[in-house]
């Protein structure tokens, strides 16, 4: 589909295209209520609670007042709706501000002021310096004589460097006054979200130009939300407006990510629902049997002889309503609220602020913080993520001669400097390519100094280095480049630019020497894209050796080449190139094909080597996270040797002989197949520890592997903890993330550039680094940080704490609901299995909303270990990765605890108050008081670090319970008149409460003491050491090394969680904190020892693979 935009004639497109009104709102005043309710009731749990609430409106079956369910339900819906309304209102205010900005447009040849929302497709928009671009424009004119303007795109892609834009060649030299009267048509594609591509054609109507077709690219546009900088004025025609701009098309709500904790909660909810149905059916049948056999014998039960057809359903439905609180109605809202707080803790963490740039950590996704504590694989980019992305030209090889090897800096190499002084032809050509084959813009300051701005850090490094060697790129005006050669000014006319693409892996420029008229083709790129194009007969072996030599030192390499073109050859080629550039369909592919016709028979000039230093703290961060059991994959577009050297320097792999690198290479299916089989065989039989074995694969072999040998490669991915993938494309990065996710591993992807966005969005958790390549990755990510080293704190501190707190909160929510429900079930056995409620409606509603929510709300501050201890002993992250705090086994512990506490409360209450003198309300209040006291102590013993706020919440909640009930008891119409006053005066009440607390908490405390004393987990050991203030026990004091393995110094960490193998090949390291779970194992790691990198057995590898790998 195409769009035709008529310049300066918006009437033709007024009804075809939208205006420039921006709307990011999700709702309107009219549709808010129905739309929001529809969204809320699209969730199964909300549908379930609505059904329960509606059933309670039937007086015949409801055992309690409908307000006990409708009240919390309305409150929860109101909280969610209020949050949605507030967010939408803020979006409305933002839209309103943008829509009402005033802009200049040309109407009937006159400039007029209108609001931005009134701009239409076809209008000519006039911009002044520092103005924000209101819509997507195609430039028609600027104040610069050469048709240039500078824009800031930070709001669009996060890149702060100014970018150069130029008016189309058809508009060059057009008089200022004629711009108001310009007429023409732009043929462009329909709106899309690709901010780096715009393939269109411009045709001006006479008398401006005689219908000549002019191709347009993204360099001829200024997009919405960019700012005009360092340019007095610019004007352009609007082609995309409103929500159809490229920025507007990019907006949208990303797909929600389901955390492992959420998935487990869903499974547990389903199990409780099944249990509830079973209970309802059993009690319903028992109730009907009792009614038919016993109830009619009782004089006080007045059942009619003949009942309606639905009589058999009444008692089961009563029990359904009575047991509906098994599933806590508030769990979703409670988890959403605390997860928002977890995200705020990350935002507020001053220790994660990059002091160099002042960049804080930011949590864009508030729903997945606990997943940070369960990460098993980290897939990381290299450049700008592990390294600083501050490129420095270090060495070079020109004409087979190496420069900079002795002192490590070619710019200080006397031999190279002498060659520059003498004007060596090879050296000067090499420096010329460095200086002009780029997209850099030189910017001259007021004091005469020149700085260079561009999108590529590599290009900036090359241009700066050339300038230091007296080949200075000093000016760029339209198509003329000015170079200063040792004080001699040389001008080149730019004829064509063959832009860099990830497929071609090179960039070329066609120049014409203004002095002698020679036409030159200069090119630079990766060695595999330049060296094969060398002139027949030229020896390239020395250059290949130079590339290999520099890569082994961890340097980035670029090969530089050139050739002289015949004028006839260029003219013939340029016609084909112009035609390809004018295509609206497959323009990129057609241009690449035409470029290949010219980029051949190169004279290879040399190799430039650029250093990109590691960021501070990268090796330490990777080493710490590897101790935590996290596997690392490096995905980079760099050469294999460069990536390997970086991997060695940042502790990805150990150097030989301890470490082992297995290479997968080949250009054909057979070669890759043999290589893959060899590596797989080696991995299966190797005597090296799995954590020290890594495989290395390049993009070509990876493409073949993923297409033809995916299953084998998946097995290899499971066997190896470390992988180095070189020369990979953005799509391949995303495919690798998806492959690990199919094996049910929790993945985290981290990167800093636009080429990492797909990988970041594909992973379970995406982390972006606010780096020199802009904020594209940071904006697409769930979390953004300033430096890679902050990843350690993000995972070990925030991720672990979030998981621990969420695990407790979710299970406690079920516990408190099951407790009250079990008491109701037990009461049914002494009330004729009739489905009668022991508690009144007000008490039930207050129990769910107030009495049990406040103490647990402050659990978001709980810390089982100090941050310092957690960072010193990363191995304890294993408990989170294995899901040791939230699984069916731990949930069974909470389930059993709730049943036990219900029996204690019911039995003691019944024996103390079930006499003819006691009122129903008294029995109910004693039982409710026992529940509140028990839960206060449960929260207290499960809290690891008490603060003043937590003490106030737990014990203040008890005081609040009595204060509220004293007030209610003072109201005659409350149904509880004088109840609490009478109970508090009775010694039997306080004795009952004491017995309930003692009998309920005694066994729990005894079990905790026995386990803490005789079978402590490693976390218990650390907690004890913190309390005593003594040193942490050494490895030898805690555990015994596995047989058949000799512990080395690196393994002797302060707290190793290695243990000898237990019976049935289970590892007792998985000591649960809340309940015993001997049979649970780490997900996706097979039936062997969960932490496979501490075991030498080979059998678990194949079983792990067969059980967890999905056949793709």
The set of catalytic residues is: 381
Instruction: Write the DSSP symbol of residue 818.
Output: H
- Decide: 157 and 775 in contact? Cβ < 8 Å: yes
Closest CA to 614 of 641, 647, 654, 639: 647
Integer angstrom CA distances of residue 803 from 796, 843, 897, 1095: 10, 32, 22, 27
Q: Rounded to whole angstroms, how far apart are CA atoms 704 and 675?
A: 12
Decide if 1011 contacts 994 (C-beta within 8 A).
no
- Residue 579 burial (CB count, 10 A): 13
Q: Which residue has the tokens 């020290």?
A: 692
Nearest 5 degrees, angle CA 621-CA 1058-CA 687?
85
CB 280 within 8 A of CB 326: no
What does the alpha-carbon distance between residue 543 and residue 1042 come to, in Å, rounded to a whole number? 50
Per the CB < 8 A criterion, the answer to whether 382 and 372 are in contact is no
**What is the C-alpha R_g of the chain?**
36
Return d(Cα 774, Cα 766) in angstroms, integer: 16
Determine contact, residues 129/233, Cβ cutoff 8 Å. yes
Residue 785: DSSP 8-state: E
Hunting for tokens 């015993």 — which residue is that? Answer: 1076
- CA 157, CA 195: separation in Å to the nearest integer? 8
Give the position of tokens 């002795």.
406
10 Å CB burial of residue 43 (0-12, 13-18, 19+) is exposed
d(CA 158, CA 194): 15
DSSP output for 688-748: S-GGGEEEEEEHHHHHHHHHH-HHHHHHHHHH-SEEEEES--HHHHHHHHHHHHHTT--EE
Contact present, 774 and 754 (Cβ < 8 Å): yes
- Neighbouring CB atoms inside 10 A of 99's CB total 18
What is the DSSP secondary structure assignment for residue 617, as one 8-state letter? T
Measured CA distances, 601 to 399, 438, 499, 561, 730 (Å):
16, 21, 19, 10, 30
> 506-513 and 480-485 as β-strands: parallel, antiparallel, unpaired?
unpaired
**The 3-state secondary structure of 488-547, one letter per residue:** EEEEEEEEEEECCCCCCCEEEEEEEECCCCCEEEEEEECHHHHHHHECCCCCCHHHHHHH
Residue 716 CA to residue 676 CA, distance in Å, equals 9
Q: What is the DSSP letter of 1047?
A: -
Nearest to 603 by CA among 574, 561, 640, 634: 561
Phi-psi region of 946 (alpha: psi -120 to 50; beta: other; left: phi over 0): beta
CA separation for the pair 293, 693 (Å, rounded): 73
Provide the sign of the torsion angle of the four alpha carbons 931, 937, 941, 943, taken in this order: positive
Residue 843 and residue 488: Cα distance in Å, rounded? 92
Beta-sheet strands, E only, within 550-600: 556-565
């Amino acid at each position: 589909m195409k769009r035709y935009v008529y310049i300066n004639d918006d009437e033709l497109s007024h009804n075809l295209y939208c205006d420039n009104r921006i709307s990011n709102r999700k709702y309107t005043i009219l549709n808010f209520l129905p739309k929001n309710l529809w969204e809320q009731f699209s969730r199964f749990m909300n549908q379930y609670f609505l059904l329960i609430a509606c059933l309670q409106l039937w007086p015949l079956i409801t055992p309690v007042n409908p307000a006990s369910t409708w009240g919390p339900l309305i409150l929860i819906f109101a909280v969610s709706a209020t949050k949605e309304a507030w967010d939408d209102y803020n979006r409305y205010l933002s839209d309103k501000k943008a829509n009402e900005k005033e802009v200049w447009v040309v109407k009937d040849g006159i400039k007029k002021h209108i609001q931005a929302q009134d701009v239409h497709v076809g209008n000519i928009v006039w911009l002044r310096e520092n103005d924000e671009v209101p819509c997507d424009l195609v430039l028609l004119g600027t104040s610069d004589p050469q048709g240039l303007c500078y824009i800031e795109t930070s709001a669009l892609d996060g890149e702060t460097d100014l970018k150069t834009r130029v008016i189309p060649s058809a508009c060059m030299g057009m008089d200022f006054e004629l711009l108001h009267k310009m007429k023409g048509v732009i043929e462009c594609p329909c709106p899309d979200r690709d901010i780096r591509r715009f393939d269109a054609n411009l045709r001006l109507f006479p008398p401006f130009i005689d219908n000549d077709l002019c191709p347009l690219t993204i360099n001829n546009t200024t997009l919405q939300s960019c700012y005009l900088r360092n340019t007095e004025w610019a004007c352009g025609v609007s082609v995309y407006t409103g929500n159809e701009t490229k920025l507007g098309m990019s907006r949208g709500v990303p797909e929600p990510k389901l955390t492992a904790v959420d998935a487990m909660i869903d499974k547990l909810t389903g199990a409780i629902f099944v249990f509830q149905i079973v209970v309802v059916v059993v009690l319903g049948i028992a109730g009907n049997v009792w009614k038919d056999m016993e109830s009619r014998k009782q004089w006080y039960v007045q059942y009619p002889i003949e009942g309606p057809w639905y009589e058999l359903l009444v008692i089961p439905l009563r029990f359904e309503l009575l047991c509906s609180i098994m599933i806590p109605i508030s769990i979703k809202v409670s988890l959403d609220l605390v997860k928002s707080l977890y995200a705020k803790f990350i935002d507020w963490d001053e220790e994660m602020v990059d002091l160099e740039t002042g960049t804080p950590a930011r949590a864009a996704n508030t729903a997945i913080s606990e997943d940070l504590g369960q990460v098993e694989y980290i897939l990381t980019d290299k450049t700008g993520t592990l390294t600083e992305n501050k490129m420095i030209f270090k060495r070079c090889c020109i004409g087979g001669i190496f420069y900079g090897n002795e002192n490590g800096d070619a710019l200080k190499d006397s031999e190279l400097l002498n060659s520059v002084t003498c004007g060596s032809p090879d050296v000067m050509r090499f420096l010329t390519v460095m200086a002009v084959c780029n997209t850099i813009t030189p910017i001259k300051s007021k004091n005469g100094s020149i700085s260079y701005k561009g999108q590529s850090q590599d290009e900036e490094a090359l241009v700066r280095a050339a300038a230091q060697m007296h080949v200075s790129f000093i000016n760029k005006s339209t198509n003329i480049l000015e170079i200063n050669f040792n004080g001699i000014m040389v001008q080149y006319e730019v004829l064509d630019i063959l832009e860099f693409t990830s497929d071609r892996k090179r960039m070329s420029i066609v120049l014409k020497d203004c002095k002698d008229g020679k036409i030159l083709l200069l090119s630079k790129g990766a060695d595999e894209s330049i060296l094969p194009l060398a002139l027949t007969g030229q020896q390239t072996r020395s250059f290949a050796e130079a590339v290999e030599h520099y890569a082994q030192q961890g340097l980035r390499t670029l090969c530089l080449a050139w050739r002289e073109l015949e004028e006839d050859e260029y003219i013939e080629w340029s016609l084909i190139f112009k035609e390809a550039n004018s295509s609206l369909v497959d323009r990129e592919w057609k241009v690449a094909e035409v470029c290949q016709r010219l980029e051949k028979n190169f004279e290879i000039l040399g190799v430039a080597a650029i250093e990109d230093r590691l960021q501070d703290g990268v090796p330490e961060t990777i080493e710490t996270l590897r101790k935590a059991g996290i596997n690392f994959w490096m995905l980079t577009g760099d050469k294999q040797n460069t990536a390997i050297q970086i991997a060695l320097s940042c502790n990805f792999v150990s150097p030989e002989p301890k470490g082992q690198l297995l290479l997968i290479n080949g250009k054909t299916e057979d070669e890759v197949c043999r290589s893959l089989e060899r590596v797989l065989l080696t991995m299966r039989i190797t005597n090296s520890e799995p954590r020290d074995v890594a495989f290395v694969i390049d993009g070509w072999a990876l493409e073949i592997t993923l297409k033809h040998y995916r299953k084998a490669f998946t097995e290899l991915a499971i066997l190896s903890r470390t992988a180095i993938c070189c020369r990979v494309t953005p799509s391949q990065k995303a495919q690798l993330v998806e492959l690990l996710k199919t094996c049910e591993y929790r993945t985290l992807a981290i990167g800093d550039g636009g080429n990492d966005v797909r990988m970041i969005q594909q992973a379970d958790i995406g982390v972006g680094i606010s780096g020199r390549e802009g904020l594209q990755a940071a904006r697409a990510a769930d979390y953004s940080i300033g430096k890679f080293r902050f990843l350690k704190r993000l995972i070990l501190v925030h991720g672990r704490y979030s998981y621990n707190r969420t695990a407790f909160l979710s299970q406690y929510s079920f516990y408190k609901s099951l407790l009250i429900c079990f008491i109701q079930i037990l009461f049914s056995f002494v009330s004729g299995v009739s489905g009668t409620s022991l508690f009144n409606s007000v008490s039930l509603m207050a129990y769910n909303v107030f009495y049990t929510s406040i103490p647990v709300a402050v659990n978001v501050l709980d810390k089982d270990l100090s941050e310092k201890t957690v960072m010193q002993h990363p191995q304890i992250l294993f408990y989170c990765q294995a899901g040791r705090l939230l699984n069916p086994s731990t949930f069974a512990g909470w389930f059993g605890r709730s049943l036990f506490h219900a029996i204690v409360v019911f039995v003691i209450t019944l024996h103390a108050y079930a006499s003819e003198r006691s009122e129903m309300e008294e029995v109910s209040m004693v039982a409710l008081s026992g529940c509140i006291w028990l839960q206060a102590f449960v929260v207290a013993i499960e809290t690891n670090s008490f603060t003043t706020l937590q003490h106030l919440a737990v014990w203040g909640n008890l005081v609040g319970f009595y204060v509220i009930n004293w007030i209610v008891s003072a109201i005659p119409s409350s149904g509880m008149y004088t109840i609490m006053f009478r109970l508090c005066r009775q010694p039997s009440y306080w004795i009952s409460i004491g017995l309930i607390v003692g009998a309920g908490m005694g066994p729990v405390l005894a079990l905790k003491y026995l386990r803490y004393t005789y079978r402590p987990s490693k976390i218990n050991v650390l907690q004890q050491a913190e309390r005593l203030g003594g040193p942490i026990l050494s490895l030898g004091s805690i555990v015994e090394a596995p047989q058949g393995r000799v512990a080395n110094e690196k393994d002797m960490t302060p707290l190793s969680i290695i243990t000898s193998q237990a019976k049935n090949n289970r590892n007792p390291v998985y000591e649960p904190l809340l309940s015993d779970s001997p049979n649970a194992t780490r997900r996706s790691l097979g039936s062997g020892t969960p932490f496979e990198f501490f075991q030498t057995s080979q059998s678990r590898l194949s079983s792990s693979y067969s059980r967890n790998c999905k056949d793709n």
